[in-house]
């Protein structure tokens, strides 16, 4: 099996230099894509934590969100920051790596080692850029399934993720119900709303309006649409927070000054914060990957292939789904409000699925699933532990 040429990550270093594992997939049989065409061979970069047991029954797949990656519980190799879900995943954590074998892969289209628009197109010898095929959440999950196959795992004990990760969880439960014992979709929806598509379009237009985008061919030209990507990140980051959280953290406090300047510098702390978020983001993310992954989220609609009936998506033959579900939402999340999770719960109830649901009271907004929320962590610990006991998985000694 030949590994494709090493691409550059968003920092300009070869992505092959990034720590972690890689799997080349689709070499013998390219993977079909929802938009037509196929992809292969392609690479998935992934991390694992814990130990796979003898009968391979303790595997948990963590699915990351739009700007996440495979470093769920590791220090990030570019930013140096702790793993993005280390509060939830690790020894003794709700997703206990002393008991479970945890897998997290960078999605296809990503920029942290998995094949994406920054990679070399073997047909041209140049980066794919916007010649990379448009991908879907279904394609992301199909690639993950090939990885799970390659690891020799027949059924995942659990698939868990928030936001776009939650979309992947739902897609897993619909596309591979017999391969998922339990599913935990968090702060997510069965389809992307018009409002969320609109926010994504603002971000994409910010990137494409940057002269350094070069019609997507910035990598070949040695350029980088950093300003456009930073603005896209700033706009998106606002949606991850709540008004209450912004007010509590910043209010109308001024940034390192006693009075307003009557100019366009960052007078307010919240302005400085957003500028920092944008500037730091461009060090670890690729602009074209941002276009592709946001588009994949926009296209997500589980009910579309079932006559608009979401419940039908969860039917397995004449029966309901065998998957056990736990859905969680957050009261101040206006990006993926509780009503979206309730719609999924109602659809699951319609097919007599085994489903539990909780809305966590918090003012931290959409990002609450990444933060220190004790009630949320208790719910996840209880559900996963209960499912593990039901399946006969041993507790750690």
What DSSP line would sit under 266-288, residue for residue?
--BHHHHHHHHHHHHHTTT--HH
For residues 63 and 367, what is the distance between their CA atoms, to the nearest angstrom?
15
d(CA 37, CA 30): 9
What secondary structure letter does DSSP report for 316? B
Q: Is 341 helix (H, G, I), strand (E, B) or coil?
A: helix
The pLDDT of 296-305, averaged and rounded, is 97
pLDDT range class, residue 5, cuts 50, 70, 90:
very low
* Residue 396: predicted pLDDT: 63
391 marked among binding-site residues = no
Q: From the DSSP assignment, how many helices (H) and strands (E) are in the chain?
A: 10, 14
Q: Which two tokens stand for residue 96?
A: 């206990």
Lowest mean pLDDT among 7-21, 163-177, 187-201, 353-367: 7-21
CATH number of 21-195+302-391: 3.40.50.1820
pLDDT at site 316: 85
366 among known catalytic residues: yes
Bigger pLDDT: 13 or 156? Answer: 156
pLDDT of residue 175: 97
Which residues make up the CATH 1.10.1740.110 domain(s) of the chain? 198-295
Residue 396 to residue 391: CA distance in whole angstroms? 15
Say which residues have a Cβ less than 8 Å from residue 323's Cβ, sequence separation at least 6: 173, 177, 180, 181, 182, 183, 353, 354
Active-site residue, 333 included? yes
- Residue 317: is its pLDDT beyond 90? no
For the question of residue 154 being annotated catalytic, the response is no
Nearest in space to 115 (alpha carbons), one of 35, 23, 226, 13? 23
* Residue from 356, 352, 357 nearest 321 by CA: 352
Helix, coil or strand: residue 63: strand
* pLDDT at position 390 over 60: yes
pLDDT at 336: 98
Given the residues 11, 57, 163, 332, the one annotated as active site? 163
Q: Which of 4-18, 66-80, 247-261 has the highest mean pLDDT?
A: 66-80
CATH 1.10.1740.110 fits 198-295, yes or no: yes
Query: What is the average pLDDT score of the chain?
Result: 93
pLDDT at 19 over 60: yes
pLDDT at position 1: 27
How is residue 159 written in tokens? 């698939």
The predicted model gives 246-254 an average pLDDT of 92
Which member of 210, 267, 298, 333 is catalytic?
A: 333
**Single pTM value for the model:** 0.94
- Cα gap 235→231, rounded to integer Å: 6
Kindly name the residue from 118, 192, 200, 366 that is annotated as catalytic: 366
| The pairing of beta strand 31-32 with beta strand 95-96 | unpaired
**Rounded Cα–Cα distance for residues 173 and 181 (Å):** 9
Q: Per the structure block, which two tokens stand in for 26?
A: 């689709």
Q: Rounded to a whole number, what is the distance in angstroms from the first to the last CA of the chain?
A: 40
Which residue's entry shows tokens 């394609």?
139
What average pLDDT does the segment 188-192 reach?
Answer: 98
Give the residues across from 45 on adjacent strands. Answer: 22
Q: What is the pLDDT of residue 319?
A: 79
Q: Nearest Cα to 93, choosing from 153, 63, 57, 49?
A: 49
How large a percentage of the chain has pLDDT more than 90? 89
Q: How far is CA 235 from CA 204, 231, 278, in A?
A: 11, 6, 9
Instruction: Assess contact for 166 and 188: CB atoms under 8 A.
Output: yes
Band the pLDDT of 70: cuts 50, 70, 90: very high
110: nearest Cα among 67, 61, 162: 67
List, in sequence order, every residue forming a beta bridge with 326; answer none if it has no partner.
Answer: 356
- State the average pLDDT over residues 70-99: 96
Structure tokens at 333: 């999340």
Asked whether residue 233 is marked as a ligand-binding residue, the answer is yes
- Indicate where the chain has its CATH 3.40.50.1820 domain(s): 21-195+302-391
Tokens of 394: 């041993």
């Amino acid at each position: 099996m030949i590994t494709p040429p090493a691409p550059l990550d968003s920092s300009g270093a070869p992505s092959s230099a990034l720590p972690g594992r890689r799997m080349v997939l689709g070499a013998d049989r390219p993977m079909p894509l929802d938009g037509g065409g196929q992809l292969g061979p392609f690479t998935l970069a992934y991390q694992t934590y814990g130990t796979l047991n003898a009968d391979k029954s303790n595997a948990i797949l963590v699915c990351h969100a739009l700007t996440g990656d495979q470093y769920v519980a590791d220090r990030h190799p570019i930013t140096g920051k702790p793993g993005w879900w280390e509060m939830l995943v690790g020894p003794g954590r709700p997703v206990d790596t002393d008991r479970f074998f945890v897998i997290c892969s960078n999605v296809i289209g990503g920029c942290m080692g998995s094949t994406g628009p920054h990679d070399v197109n073997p047909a041209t010898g140049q980066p794919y850029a916007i010649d990379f095929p448009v991908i879907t959440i279904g394609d992301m999950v199909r690639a993950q399934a090939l990885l799970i196959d390659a690891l020799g795992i027949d059924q995942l004990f659990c698939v868990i993720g928030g936001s776009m990760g939650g979309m992947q969880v739902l897609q897993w439960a619909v596309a591979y119900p017999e391969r998922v014992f339990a599913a935990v979709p968090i702060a997510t929806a069965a389809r992307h709303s018009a409002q969320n598509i609109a926010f994504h379009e603002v971000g994409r237009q910010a990137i494409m309006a940057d002269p350094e985008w070069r019609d997507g061919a910035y990598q070949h030209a040695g350029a980088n649409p950093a300003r456009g990507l930073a603005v896209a990140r700033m706009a998106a980051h606002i949606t991850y927070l709540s008004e209450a959280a912004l007010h509590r953290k910043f209010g109308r406090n001024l940034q390192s000054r006693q009075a307003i300047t009557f100019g366009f510098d960052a007078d307010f702390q919240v302005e400085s914060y957003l500028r920092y978020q944008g500037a730091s983001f461009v060090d670890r993310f690729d602009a074209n990957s941002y276009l592709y992954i946001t588009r994949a989220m926009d296209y997500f609609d589980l009910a579309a292939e079932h006559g608009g009936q979401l419940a039908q998506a969860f039917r397995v033959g004449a029966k309901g789904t065998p998957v056990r579900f736990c859905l969680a939402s957050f009261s101040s999340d206006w990006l993926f409000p509780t009503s979206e999770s309730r719609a999924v719960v109602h659809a699951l109830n319609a097919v007599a699925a085994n489903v539990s649901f909780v809305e966590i009271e918090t003012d931290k907004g959409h990002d609450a699933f990444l933060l220190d929320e004790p009630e949320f962590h208790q719910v996840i610990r209880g559900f996963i532990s209960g499912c593990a006991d039901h399946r006969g998985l041993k507790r750690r000694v």
